[in-house]
Structure 1
Amino acid sequence: MVPLHSPILKPYLITRGLVPENQEHPIHFVSAAITPESSFYLRNHFPYPRISEQSFVLSVGGEVQKPRTFQYQELLRMPFKELIVPLECAGNNRGLFRPRVFGEQWGGGAISQGVWRGVALRELLRYTGLQASAKEIVFEGHDFGRRPDLEGEFVFARSLPLEKAFHPDTLIAYALNGEPIPYKHGYPLRLIVPQWYAMASVKWLRSITVTRTHFNGPFQDIDYMFYPEKDSDTGKIPVTTIQVNSIIQQPLNRSVLDKGMHQIYGLAWTGTGSIKKVEISTDGGGNWRPAVVQPESPNAYSWTFWNYTWFADQKGEYTIMSRATDSFGFVQPAAAKWNRKGYGYNAYSVVHIKVE
């Protein structure tokens, strides 16, 4: 007799696009602090670049005292840091904005968390030095292609102000979760910028250029800007720091539950400080009660798990909400600030439940 075994159940990525490939992390079904490669979300603007010998060379130039190129193996021999850092797409939850906006209609899964190993950027720049005229540092990837709004081809490139570039935890990373960074996530080298939305963490890094003027590439001054007006650029500001946020993982939206005890649980994260409080409402925001938040992690940037025990003793329909507060006093708002490109959604997490 052949024994029967239960299949190993696992969630899969949720596809938003294939060329370029954009896929969501199955965020509602994971309980591990570290996201495995198979579940790590994918965000691309262009087709994947080809990897060649040149991909293993990183050049540093511009307003520096000693321009240099660094070989991949050279970086591996340098003192390294290892950090747990969540990466969140600036468009995470874009599909929830009302009025609706154009762009990839992400749900809540354009965020994943990994262990990144690499060389601190500021340590690398000690080898080149900076000129007194330095203003920004531009990071260019190997990925390139066309945009629908502009003529010609463009590489993906972004800049950081000197203060953020010289933060001790801004890394030139070469490993994710103890292995070389997977090809789809930027192999062999990727910039990692903790606390900022993931557009700053340039993949397939090929060059670092120190400039004396503001960098105005299309992924700096057109995309990844908050535009509060639908038909005007008035009041636009750059997208930078991750806003305080939480998500209800379980129960799922529109679930039907039996009367009795249920666990409401999820994640919370922020780009400023750490999560200090998560509150739950089971009556559509009329009343709020504290959830149990995991002890503060020694990992400064890690997301936080929370849970709340709910006794559903009456049949009916319920609106459950979560909101997080961080150590800087930022509170997740009832409504996200609308902007026409759909960045930075962080309104209360809301699920509608029926109890029978």
Structure 2
Amino acid sequence: MASKEIEGDWYLGWADRKRIQLAASKDRHDRVINARTPFLDQEGLITPTDASYIVAQLNVPEPVHPDDYRFEVFGEVERPSAFTLSDIRKFPARTVRAVAECAGNDTNFWDYLKSREQGGNMAKPSYRIESDWNASWWAEKGEADIKATSADSAEPTITCYLSGGEWTGISLSSLLEAVGLKSSAVAVRLEGFDEGRPDPAMQYLSVGRSDFQVYDPGIINYDKGLPIEKAMERDTILAWAQNGDWLTHVHGAPLRLVVPGWAGNWWVKWINKIEIMDHMPDCYHQTYYFVSGKSPDDPNKAPMTALGVKTVITEPLDEDSPLAVGEHVIRGLAWSGEGAIARVEVSTDGGLTWRDAHVEEHGDRFLWRRFSIVWNANTPGRYTLMTRGTDERGRVQPVTEWNFQRKHFDGIVPVDVEVI
């Protein structure tokens, strides 16, 4: 066994296997603000907390001690109230298991598939994390510097911003019912302690170019306006625990929002206040960023909410090629933003024919499911492996159309291998 597989002086768990760890990037103050999950190395469905991905849209706030924590609920309610963490923990608890995925995860694959279709030679983005990009590069650049730089030439590989987790807290609906929603309630605006000026570089990075004007809201707190229907779903929760333990600060302690099926930017961390409104608020991160549309000038841009249907082959990978003639197992993960995965099909001939894979059963609608199928590769040659998922609503991968910010990628990504 290679020495890199040994962790320190101890064999932890399965002999000779290292525990999965985050690939982290730090800001200029040496704080982790960005980290990717090496999910290919994950054996179970729940990603360890210390390996769960991290994205901070604004400045990470200073920690608030749980004993000092307090937030207000106000607006279109009968009984505006303030709550402590102890107050929240008096409500009936609810535990939810789900995939958390950044809206921008796998952004590069939009361009890769386009290049592939056109006969181009763009390198395929990798799910195997060998090194990580320096997140502070963008933060330390001024807007003029960014505009003078070709965004796509400096673009990092944006993969592995996803994790499977278990969150414990209370249904947001329980809190809203306790304060008495008025019939005029349309949206629930949740605001975090994190604040700052949204970095225009993030929009340039997502679009892959910088020849357009980004709206500047100035210094703001991170906030999202959740439609009342989604807020009232029992699996939309305010969580104080992750994976059986108290939330860590970087993951949103003392209290964060969990919105199963919707992209991670809806999962507001460090809850500071909750305002019930009679209209949808004009939040930056759903009016100007994380929006659909054909271009920055598209007048029909809309907030992006639920994720599509997605499958990822975790074994074999392109870099595992060549494979020996014989029997191999094609394995992977599948999930959907609108319910449980019902079916996964696998093709070994570039999509000409498909076979049903075995899909692991469990009771969590928004948590990914493992799939596998035995492949008898008895003839030497080059093969293109593909998978596609179908969820319980009948949506078939891919669901999401190309959008100018290249969010919510759920395309079918081929794996090219040679058998010898």
Return the TM-score normalized by structure 1.
Answer: 0.92
Alpha-carbon distance, 1:106 to partner? 5.3
* Cα gap change, 1:244 to 1:133, in 2 (>3 Å): same
Task: List runs of 5+ in structure 2 lacking aligned partners.
Answer: 1-8, 116-150, 201-213
The answer for the alignment partner of 1:221 in structure 2 is 287
Residue in structure 2 matched with residue 136 of structure 1 by the alignment:
187
Q: How does 1:298-337 map to 2 (within 5 A)?
A: 298-333=363-398, 337=401
Note the C-alpha offset of 1:18.
4.5
More off after superposition, 198-207 vs 100-109: 100-109
> How far, CA to CA, are the matches of 2:327 and 2:107 in structure 1?
33
2:122 matched to which residue of 1? none
Select 1:68's aligned residue among 74, 78, 81.
81
Letter in 2 for 1:234: P
> Partners of 1:253 and 1:145 in 2: how far apart?
41
- For 1:17 and 1:352, the matched residues in 2 are separated by 34
Instruction: For 1:152 and 1:323, locate their aligned partners in 2 and report how far apart those are by CA, in whole Å.
Output: 42
Q: Are 2:105 and 2:159, in contact at CA under 8 Å, matched by a contact in 1?
A: yes
Q: Is structure 2 residue 304 aligned with structure 1 residue 235?
A: no
Structure having the higher helix fraction is 2
Equivalent residue number for residue 162 of structure 2: 111
Equivalences for residues 104-183 of structure 1 within 5 A: 105=156, 107-147=158-198, 148=200, 149=214, 150=216, 152-183=218-249
Q: 1:321 to 1:204 in 2, by over 3 A?
A: same
Tell me which residue corresponds to 1:26. Answer: 38
Which residue number in structure 2 is paired with residue 194 of structure 1? 260
- Contact 2:21-2:38 within 8 A present in 1 as well: yes
Task: Report Cα offsets for 1:98-124 as digits up to 9, x if no partner.
Answer: 269879755442111111111111111
- The answer to whether the 8 A contact 2:348-2:386 is kept is yes
Q: Deviation per CA, 1:111-151: give whole Å up to 9, x if none.
A: 11111111111111222112332221100011111123415
What is the RMSD computed on CA atoms of the aligned residues? 2.4
Amino acid across the alignment from 1:341: Q
* 2:52 alignment partner in structure 1: 40
Q: 2:324 pairs with 255, 258, 261, which one?
A: 258
Alpha-carbon distance between aligned partners in 2 of 1:338 and 1:105, rounded to the nearest angstrom:
20
User: CA separation in 1, counterparts of 2:282 and 2:239?
Assistant: 25
Distance in 2 (CA, whole Å) between partners of 1:33 and 1:51 is 29
Partner amino acid, structure 2, of 1:48: V
CA distance, structure 2, for counterparts of residue 321 and residue 287 of structure 1? 10
Could you tell me which amino acid in structure 1 is paired with residue 332 of structure 2?
Answer: G
Match of 1:13 in 2: 22
Instruction: Give the secondary structure class of the aligned counterpart of 2:364.
Output: coil
Q: Higher strand share goes to which structure?
A: 1
**Residue equivalent to 1:340:** 404
Is the 8 Å Cα contact of residues 24 and 106 (structure 1) preserved in structure 2? no
Determine helix, strand or coil for the equivalent of 1:38: helix
Q: Percent identity?
A: 32
Q: Post-superposition shift, 1:217? A: 1.6
Identify the match of residue 249 of structure 1 among 311, 314, 318.
314
How far did 1:184 drift?
1.0
Larger mean CA deviation between 304-313 and 128-137 belongs to 128-137
The question of whether the paired residues in 1 share the 8 Å contact of 2:308 and 2:337 is answered with yes
Contact 2:64 2:254 in 1 (8 A): no
Residues 1:272 and 2:338 are matched in the alignment: yes
Change (3 A) 1:81 1:336: closer
1:89 aligns with 2:102: yes
Quote the residue 1:59 is aligned against.
72
Q: Tell me how far apart the structure 2 counterparts of residues 53 and 288 of structure 1 sit (CA, whole Å).
A: 54
Report the AA paired with residue 257 of structure 2.
L
Is the contact between residue 27 and residue 108 of structure 1 (CA under 8 Å) also seen in structure 2? no
Deviation at 1:14, TM superposition (A): 3.3
Matched, 1:294 2:360: yes
C-alpha distance in 2, partners of 1:4/1:85? 32
Residue 354 of structure 1: how far off its partner (Å): 1.9
Supply the distance in 1 between the matched residues of 2:385 and 2:234 (Cα, whole angstroms): 39
Does the Cα contact within 8 Å between 1:138 and 1:211 map onto a contact in 2? yes
Are the equivalent residues in 2 in contact too, given 1:317–1:352 (CA < 8 A)?
yes
Flag the 1:268–1:274 CA change in 2: closer, same or farther, 3 A: same
The 8 Å contact of residues 94 and 105 in structure 1, kept in 2 or not, is answered as: no
Does structure 2 conserve the Cα–Cα contact (< 8 Å) formed by 1:255 and 1:352?
A: no
Paired residue total: 351
Give distance in 1, aligned partners of 2:155 and 2:170. Answer: 32
TM-score (norm 2): 0.78
Sort the Cα spacing of 1:137 and 1:251 in 2 relative to 1 into closer, same or farther, 3 A.
Answer: same
Could you tell me how far 1:94 is from its partner in structure 2?
0.6
Pick closer, same or farther for the CA change 1:4–1:177 going to 2, 3 Å: closer
Moved more, 16-25 or 128-137: 16-25
Letter of the structure 1 residue corresponding to residue 44 of structure 2 = A
